[in-house]
Amino acid sequence: MITFLVGILILVLGYFFWSKVAEKLFGPDDRKTPALRHPDGVERVPLSTKRNLLIQLLNIAGMGPIVGVVLGMKFGPIVFLLLPIGNVIGGAIHDYYVGMISTRNNGADTTSLVQKFFGKNVGGLFLGLVIFSLLLLVTTFTNIPANFIVTLLPFGGFVLVSAVIGIFAYYIISTIFPIDKIVGKIYPVFGLALLVLTIILCFAYIPFAGSIPDITLTPEGIAAAFTAHPDGQPIIPMLFITIACGILSGFHATQSPITARTITSERSGRHVFYGMMIAEGLIAMVWAAGASIVFSLDPASIALTSGNAIIYEILNLVFPAALIILGILVLIILAITSGDTALRVIRTSIAGYFNIDQSTMKKRVILVVPLVIVISGLLLWSNLSPTGYAILWNYFSWFNQVIASFALLLGTVYLISKGKPYWITLIPGAGILFIVLSFILWASPAHLAGVPFGIGMPLEISYIVSLVLTAVIYVLAIRHGKKLRADKNFSADEE
């Protein structure tokens, strides 16, 4: 329990102190935001700070920080420390700088920002990564809530098909309507529901607090904390790939520009972008505590391979039947509020890269139709294949962190081009790049059950190669940033 409380304290202190360091280095001022400077009635629409806080929270806090973290708790109580530390110096920094750089560039999607700072070719590569990753996310986040709905209603097969169709139809409608018509109205309500569920869970855990494990502060105990996974998975890279959203998530790099287009003051960025990532970290810690209680009271449950199954175990343990239904309903909402904005980002990213006008409903529909066809195919395949969902989620998990690597590299080059200290993004950026590279080089069916890809190097060799590649990439990025700084024709901010 003490390790858990220390982790909560790290998150709280991170918000009150480290966020101010990030804000000072960026330097927000009183210039007009995109919503006020270039409102378009579709994406750049001014919304209140309170509404933006809840929209940003729902944009980023889908099922990822819950499913990922309950599976990640198989690594043991070390998660209670690594999650908040990574969140404060990595994830929240990532979200803040992407959001603020987008704000300074008329609310541009991250794909457009990568194109601006790294060129058309790199921008095209990044666009491909984003589209592929978010197509997988929309598919999986249609299936997840649909399967939750099946648990609440009879007639399994019919209900599943109906739920999939209904959820996907909502995604399409939400994507083509202006941001303030659907997302701006329902997200604040859903955000409050998420916070209420989290608070109820905290009180429900009180009788089980003694079952939340701690790290043993001895050399043997500390060493054991890094080798606790029942399948022997290495913390680096697997913990950061598994938990993803609670620590650092590239998905957030695609979501923060949505809110960057609706804030009305740069000075609210610290609360909206940094603060809501801290809030996500707190939510992830609450679910991590629940998973640790379940694993402590029923050691056999650690063998569960489905995040949904572990979530059910948590709810069944601490809630009466009526509240279990409430919890499942909130989880359905969380999954849906990731899928709808993910589809929106695919549309706006493609439109931004190819300069496709999206001012009218007809033009937005034309761009969405091909996406609907592709996702429909993925939905059909994933529901017919016994391993379809697992394969999609595996690919999304590491593509997600590849996007995060790009986003922090972008933040570093941006700060260099502005002549500002850049260590605040370089340190977490180099860290996640090293983790992603070592995962790609090490992971393979021989090393990790259920992973249909990877080079399969020995772990130690993958670390060495990844370290060298990370150093080379960041040396090149620093040189590139300095070149942009010297280019009188280049402006990091849109004036």
The reply to whether 476 falls in a domain is no
- Residue 80 scores a pLDDT above 80: yes
DSSP one-letter string for 108-153: --HHHHHHHHH-HHHHHHHHHHHHHHHHHHHHHHHHHHHHHHHHHS
| 3-state SS, residue 394 | helix
| 3-state SS, residue 358 | coil
**Alpha-carbon radius of gyration of the chain:** 21
Separation CA 246–CA 288 (nearest Å) = 10
pLDDT top residue among 205 and 144: 205
- Residue 88 scores a pLDDT above 90: yes
Separation CA 211–CA 291 (nearest Å) = 10
The reply to whether 215 falls in a domain is yes
Q: Are 434 and 466 in contact (CB under 8 A)?
A: yes
Give how far Cα 23 sits from Cα of 92, 96, 267, Å.
11, 8, 9
- Residue 436 scores a pLDDT above 60: yes
The reply to whether 460 falls in a domain is no
Domain that holds residue 320: 2-393
pLDDT of 155 reads: 61
Q: For residue 451, name the pLDDT band (cuts at 50, 70, 90).
A: low
The reply to whether 402 falls in a domain is no
What count of other Cβ atoms lies within 10 Å of the Cβ of residue 123?
Answer: 20
The reply to whether 74 falls in a domain is yes
Provide the percentage of residues in the chain whose pLDDT is more than 90: 44
Q: According to DSSP H, which parts of 206-300 are helical? A: 219-225, 235-243, 251-260, 269, 276-297
pLDDT of 495 reads: 62
Q: For residue 153, name the pLDDT band (cuts at 50, 70, 90).
A: low
Maximum Cα–Cα distance across the chain:
66
Give how far Cα 410 sits from Cα of 87, 99, 492, Å.
18, 12, 11
**Exposed, middle or buried by CB within 10 Å (0-12, 13-18, 19+), for 231?**
exposed
| Domain tally, the chain | 1
Condensed to tens digits (0 to 9), the pLDDT of residues 14-59 reads: 999 999 999 999 999 999 999 999 888 878 899 999 889 988 888 8
- Residue 74 scores a pLDDT above 80: yes
Chain mean pLDDT for the chain: 87
Condensed to tens digits (0 to 9), the pLDDT of residues 213-233 reads: 988 877 777 777 787 888 888
pLDDT of 197 reads: 83
pLDDT top residue among 331 and 265: 265
pLDDT top residue among 97 and 157: 97
Which of 138-142, 391-395, 486-490 is modeled with the greatest confidence?
486-490
pLDDT of 390 reads: 65
Which of 114-128, 190-204, 422-436 is modeled with the greatest confidence?
422-436
Q: Are 54 and 187 in contact (CB under 8 A)?
A: yes
pLDDT top residue among 300 and 473: 473
The reply to whether 421 falls in a domain is no
pLDDT of 408 reads: 97
Separation CA 475–CA 495 (nearest Å) = 29
Separation CA 407–CA 249 (nearest Å) = 10
pLDDT top residue among 14 and 145: 14
The reply to whether 73 falls in a domain is yes
The reply to whether 424 falls in a domain is no
- Residue 73 scores a pLDDT above 60: yes
Q: State the CATH number of the domain containing residue 131.
A: 1.10.4160
Q: For residue 65, name the pLDDT band (cuts at 50, 70, 90).
A: confident
Residues 6+ apart with CB under 8 A from 156: 150
Q: Are 80 and 8 in contact (CB under 8 A)?
A: no
Q: For residue 453, name the pLDDT band (cuts at 50, 70, 90).
A: low
